Homo-oligomer: A and B are copies of this chain.
Amino acid sequence: MSLQMNQSLSVDCAVFGFDGKVLKVLLIERRYWKPDGRLDRLKLPGAMILENETLPEAAYRVLKEATGLENVYLRQLEIFSDPQRVSGEELAWINRYHGIRTERVVTVSYYALVKLDPHTVAFTTAAGAQWVEVESIQHLAMDHKQILAAALSSLCREMLQSPVAFELLPRKFTIRQLQDLYAAVLGIEIDNRNFRKKILSSGFLTPTREKEHGVAHKPAQYYTFNRSAYKRAVREKLRLGFINNWKY
């Protein structure tokens, strides 16, 4: 038993990345996995929290270790506190792996969004992690499939309500890339022309002078996200609500 480690509380992070075609999540192989297949091999990055850190600190620590990144878009999701969420062999694995003796672990789940640039991909791959297409995942260790589902559903909701999509794209992107991202995450087909019209009329995209090069089709223009235009619009929108516009 480590005095440093809390025996009851962990954090688990679903780290999403977009490779231009599909939505991926970062998975790590768990150590002491039984090769007879009685335990699922892959899991989300996570850790028991340390006694001297807050939950967000623990989550950022996990992210740093898994991705090498420090300023990551990170949001807390649900707390998974079912007393049986890890039990039997899974619980035995946790106790063995951490050298602790606990009867239950409550986990606070997070989701993170990272840009899949070559540096980050190289770091994660060197660390033995892998980027797996979310759609293809059938099983994960413990209740991590359920945590992933919660993270994905939160990402879908967030992408419809706020501009988190840009956390997954390079700083300069084409409208087609943005559309492909929405289509991949939401699992829908999106009408090109309508999407283009809507997103441009939002005023949230600033055209750059750059265009794609080395592509077979007509080179598309690169845009950047205009965060200050977005913030202005949000301030405007905040005045709306259940009861609004009454004179104070």
Interface residues of chain A, those whose CB is within 8 Å of chain B, are 6-9, 49, 51-56, 76, 79, 81-83, 103-104, 106, 108, 159-163, 182, 188-191, 194-195, 198-199, 202, 241-248
In the complex, A52 Cα to B6 Cα: how many Å? 18
In the complex, A165 Cα to B247 Cα: how many Å? 19
Contacts of A8 in B (CB 8 A): 6-9
Out of B6, B182, B189, name the residue touching A243 (CB < 8 Å). Answer: B182
Out of B7, B76, B81, B247, name the residue touching A194 (CB < 8 Å). Answer: B247
Which 3 A/B pairs are nearest by Cβ-Cβ distance? Answer: A8-B8, A55-B81, A54-B81
Out of B9, B52, B83, B244, name the residue touching A198 (CB < 8 Å). Answer: B244
Contacts of A189 in B (CB 8 A): 248
At the interface, is chain A mostly helix, strand, loop or mixed?
loop
In the complex, A174 Cα to B16 Cα: how many Å? 49
What are 13 A-to-B residue pairs whose CB atoms are below 8 Å? A6-B8, A7-B8, A49-B81, A54-B82, A54-B83, A55-B106, A56-B81, A79-B79, A79-B108, A161-B242, A188-B248, A190-B246, A199-B243
Closest to A198 in B: B246
Q: Are B242 and A160 interface neighbours, CB within 8 A?
A: yes
Closest to A3 in B: B103
- Shortest CB-to-CB span from A101 to chain B, Å, is 12
In the complex, A110 Cα to B204 Cα: how many Å? 36
- Shortest CB-to-CB span from A243 to chain B, Å, is 6
Q: Are B52 and A83 interface neighbours, CB within 8 A?
A: yes
Q: Are A247 and B191 interface neighbours, CB within 8 A?
A: yes
Q: Are A248 and B190 interface neighbours, CB within 8 A?
A: yes
Closest to A234 in B: B242
Q: Are A242 and B159 interface neighbours, CB within 8 A?
A: yes
Contacts of A76 in B (CB 8 A): 79
Contacts of A191 in B (CB 8 A): 246-248
In the complex, A56 Cα to B43 Cα: how many Å? 26
Out of B52, B108, B195, name the residue touching A246 (CB < 8 Å). Answer: B195
- Shortest CB-to-CB span from A190 to chain B, Å, is 6
In the complex, A182 Cα to B244 Cα: how many Å? 12
- Shortest CB-to-CB span from A121 to chain B, Å, is 28
Q: Are A51 and B242 interface neighbours, CB within 8 A?
A: no
